[in-house]
Structure 1
Amino acid sequence: MKKNNFIYVGLLIMILLAGCAVRKSASNSVPTLVGKKWQLVELNGSVVPATVNGKMPYLELDEESGRYGASGGCNGVGGEYSLKKNNGISFSRGMSTMMACEDMSIENGLRTLFDEADTYKVMEDTMILSKGRDGDALAKFTLVVDQSDKLTGTWELDYIMEPETDFNTLYATRKPTITFDLAKNKVNGNSSCNNFSGTVSIDGHAISFGPLMSTKMACPGNGEQVFFKNIERVTSFDVQDSTLTMIMDDIVVMRWQKK
């Protein structure tokens, strides 16, 4: 009888360990996908701007609730999702807000995506949703990494998008500077002539500047005009070492060096 009890206990331990191993294996695959914010960068083969209607298009999958949240730059879209074997995934639509925005194309494309996508793939910082394991990519996302802390401090401009005039001619006597105060979501600096200040909004790699107020000195040349025109165009940024790059969609419009 005791021998049978030992056998029973041994089998029970083996079953529990096997169960733990299965759960561990599943949980190891999930963190590559869920609990993160993914920025939509391509939809049906077309590049998606960093901001649409002033907002970053994104997708988030919550592991605990089994729900997803997304935006195409207008309304919040959400519902339930399910992960399946062999990188299968399915989405069901839930409630969403009903605002009308100037550009609804990305939002409408996302709704179609959630109806069609049934397979996902994660490669480092890129996630791809497709229809079928061998199907073409319906959408590509990049992992949103918070770089806002790297912006803190003062930067000096060393490139600006202006095909008509050489950079050194535009800023022969003084280069523009910008200083970020992220605790207050504010910026200040000098446009090469007048001082300016205002607000800044950051969401992942997306960035936009609020109304920038400046002093009113008369300035020679058109360097200041070119500066304010380009900083209004900026939709995203990237920081590598001591270089800050400001981008409009996929075009570099300004580059700065840390002072």
Structure 2
Amino acid sequence: MLKTRTTAATAAVASLLVLAACGTEKAGSDTGAGTVAPDVPVTGVHWAVDSLTVDGRKAQAPAGTYVEIDKSGRAKGNSGCNHFGGTVTVDGDTLQVALGETTEMACDAMDFETAFHKAFTGKLKARLAGDALTLTAPDGRTVVALSNIPPVPLNGTTWTVDSLLSGDTAASLPKGTEGKAHFVIDKDGKVRGSLGCNRFSTTAEISGRTVTFGQITTTRMMCSGPEMDLETQVYEVFGGSATYELRHRGLSLVNAEGKGFAATAAPSASAAKK
């Protein structure tokens, strides 16, 4: 579990994302006098946040930004940098979000989170069309776009390291190293990728929730201090056995000492074109 702290600002961020997810619950609006609009089916779905548009200016969401809402109205997700939680109330096509909690990492996506905080503090109108969900602020000048993206398997997926784990705590990557550490575990168990500076290869044997890596080989380049710091921590995971947890498009790998990392699946070709 990640350590969390509830604050007014972070709660607001959680709120918006929660709203986003909720938004889908009631995309229907009045279709005639005396009719009740059905709830939009958003629970139990992994909603990837695609973009945020404010006053005509569109910003693409960082990879791995998402919202999930369960049947009880609890919402959780990632707002571009930090994970969040909260509750959602849906009334027709109007969404209202309660305060929530968030982790406290600092990273390059903070501007996107701040935009969420400013844009989503109250009600949103939801519209669902196929796998696409849009949430619009009352003034009509702020729109968040989401999509229902299917999960990916452990093997054959390109994973990009996006945070470092130590016990119950998650930390952002060293500044300037975002996107540099990535890897693929092929279906035949061969592993290849980058540790953050050097290319590497090894093998992986999967049993239950444990991955046992074989002998690792790497190139021998020297890189900047932050890149080498990242490489050292990622290398420790690939140097032996690790416990993995796969959740939709997210993966965590943690070694016996409680050190590890979280990674996000690369977007599909169709998603990347949006």
Q: TM-score range by the shorter chain?
A: 0.3 to 0.5
TM-score scaled to structure 2, two decimals?
0.44
Normalised TM-score (structure 1): 0.46
